[in-house]
């Protein structure tokens, strides 16, 4: 049985190091590793937030970090579903027009404030979603420092970040992989290893083929679990099986996909469900569960007209828990596990910073497996 602790102990045994300068793999790929250029930088701002087309690429003076900030030369960033809503003021209300979006990114530290001690110039870093959630239990006040929402995010050539949110990258973790972690992958790590305590032999059901499911498949398999995924596309299911999923169920041709989960598991059902859609699919997720299973609510989705069949919770003795991303400590654990197990982020398509609006459109249209990446240099 592979526990979360054993995955992390593997990092120490492997003698992994944390990078303090741009790695050889990033240099070999021709990514910018020199000192930051003087003068002005390009960033994407939310703008009027009336549609994706009101996002705007602008030039600004190069910023100087405050005492508790770090200035990051961003290598790449990636999109999540919530970014589409934020760009149109659908999620969390309207933001200042100058707000820089995106909660996921990675790059090199090029300057630090006077009080910063956890990172230094030359470090390769990523950051957690909620800057104030360092460790321990969730506190709703963490919403007050939400990267890409209440605070500026990663979508610029150089961006300021609260230094407390940053985690240094192991040498084995590329910028591309690191840029896919802060929202989807950390949420999966929280769900599987801190809530459900996944172990070898468990059956994990993950809905969809986005960043949560691609990371869910890899991280569950790393613990020795079996993985079942759902999608409306047979082609996407083939890609997920290539990634390591044991079973793929097309929910369009199998609308009673909970029953299909039971058939695929010889009547056992799923021990852990990564519920990436929310209330609209919760009934069927409960139907797919084994007795004493855990459902982790990750997606929210539109509310249905009727409540889910609550008797299913009692009859099967289910645990249903909602989570909100994860702490910096969880991100640091995840980075070590990714390095030890040689995992990589799944990238569907890449865009340049100048084509950010096109990247948003591609993300919105949903025809993908994994993440949408934006390269900044």
* CATH number reported for the structural domain that contains residue 309 in this entry: 3.40.50.720
Residue 203 sits at φ, ψ, to 5 deg, of -110, 120
pLDDT of 294: 97
Nearest Cα residue to 218 out of 366, 104, 371: 371
Q: Is residue 313 part of a domain?
A: yes
Residue 56 sits at φ, ψ, to 5 deg, of -140, 135
Give the global pTM.
0.89
Radius of gyration of the chain (CA): 20
pLDDT of 6: 61
**169 and 189 assigned to the same domain:** no
Q: Is residue 339 part of a domain?
A: no
C-alpha 92/C-alpha 364 separation (Å) is 18
pLDDT of 315: 86
How, if at all, do strands 247-250 and 270-275 pair?
unpaired
The CA-atom distances, in angstroms, between 42 and each of 35, 63, 102, 160 are: 16, 11, 15, 13
Q: Is residue 335 part of a domain?
A: no
**221 and 361 assigned to the same domain:** no
**193 and 298 assigned to the same domain:** yes
Instruction: Write the DSSP assignment of 309-348 as a string of letters.
Output: -THHHHHTT-EEEE-----HHHHHHHHHHHHHHT----EE
**176 and 292 assigned to the same domain:** no
Q: Which H helix or E strand runs over 297?
A: strand 289-297
Number of domains forming the structure of the chain: 2
* CATH number reported for the structural domain that contains residue 58 in this entry: 3.90.180.10
C-alpha 248/C-alpha 233 separation (Å) is 10
**262 and 350 assigned to the same domain:** no
Q: What angle do CA 156, 158, 164 make, to 5 degrees?
A: 105
Q: Is residue 10 part of a domain?
A: no
pLDDT of 30: 36
**55 and 104 assigned to the same domain:** yes
Q: Is residue 332 part of a domain?
A: no
Residue 289 Ramachandran class (φ > 0 left, ψ -120 to 50 alpha, else beta): beta
Show the tokens assigned to 324. Answer: 């909100």
Domain residues for the domain of 265 are: 185-322
Q: Is residue 2 part of a domain?
A: no
Would you write out the chain's pLDDT as a tens digit for each of its 377 residues? 455 546 554 544 444 444 444 444 443 333 433 334 568 999 999 999 999 999 999 999 999 999 999 999 999 999 999 999 999 999 889 999 999 999 999 999 999 999 999 999 999 999 999 999 999 999 999 999 999 999 999 999 999 999 999 999 999 999 999 999 999 999 999 999 999 999 999 999 999 998 999 999 999 999 999 999 999 999 999 999 999 999 999 999 999 999 999 999 999 999 999 998 877 788 899 999 999 999 999 966 555 555 555 657 888 999 999 998 999 999 999 999 999 999 999 999 999 999 999 999 999 998 889 999 999 98
Show the tokens assigned to 34. Answer: 């020199």
pLDDT of 32: 38
Q: Which residues lie below 8 Å from residue 291, measured CB to CB, with a gap of 6+?
A: 269, 316, 317
Nearest Cα residue to 183 out of 149, 206, 156, 217: 149
pLDDT of 84: 96
């Amino acid at each position: 049985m592979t526990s979360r602790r054993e995955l992390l102990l593997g990092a120490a045994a492997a003698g992994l190091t944390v990078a303090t300068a741009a790695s050889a793999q990033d240099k070999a790929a021709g990514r910018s590793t020199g000192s930051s250029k003087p003068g002005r930088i390009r960033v994407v701002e939310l703008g009027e937030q009336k549609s994706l087309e009101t996002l705007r690429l602008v030039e600004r003076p190069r910023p100087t970090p405050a005492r508790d900030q770090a200035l990051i030369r961003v290598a790449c960033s990636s999109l999540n579903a919530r970014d589409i809503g934020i760009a149109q003021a659908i999620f969390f209300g309207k933001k200042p027009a100058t707000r820089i979006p995106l909660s996921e990114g990675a790059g090199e530290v090029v300057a630090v404030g006077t009080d910063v001690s956890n990172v230094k110039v030359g470090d390769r870093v990523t950051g957690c979603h909620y800057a104030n959630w360092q460790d321990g239990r969730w506190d709703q006040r963490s919403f007050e420092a939400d990267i890409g929402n209440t605070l500026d995010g990663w979508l610029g050539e150089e961006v300021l970040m609260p230094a407390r949110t940053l985690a240094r990258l192991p040498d084995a973790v590329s910028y591309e992989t690191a840029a896919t972690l802060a929202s989807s992958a950390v949420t999966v790590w929280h769900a599987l290893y801190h809530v459900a305590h996944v172990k070898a032999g468990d059956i994990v059901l993950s809905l969809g083929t986005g960043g949560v499911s691609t990371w869910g498949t890899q991280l569950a398999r790393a613990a020795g679990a079996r993985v079942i995924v759902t999608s409306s596309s047979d082609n996407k299911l083939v890609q997920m099986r290539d990634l390591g999923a044991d079973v793929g169920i097309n929910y369009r041709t199998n609308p009673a996909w909970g029953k299909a989960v039971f058939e695929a598991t010889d009547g056992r059902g799923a021990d852990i469900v990564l519920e990436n859609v929310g209330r609209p699919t919760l009934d069927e997720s409960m139907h797919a569960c084994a007795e004493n299973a855990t459902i982790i609510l990750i997606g929210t989705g539109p509310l249905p007209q009727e409540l889910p069949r609550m008797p299913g919770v009692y009859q099967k003795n289910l645990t249903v828990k909602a989570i909100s991303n994860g702490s910096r400590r969880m991100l640091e654990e995840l980075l070590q596990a990714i390095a030890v197990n040689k995992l990589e982020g799944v990238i569907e398509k890449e865009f340049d910073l100048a084509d950010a609006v096109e990247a948003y459109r591609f993300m919105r249209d949903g025809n993908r497996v994994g993440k949408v990446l934006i390269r900044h240099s």
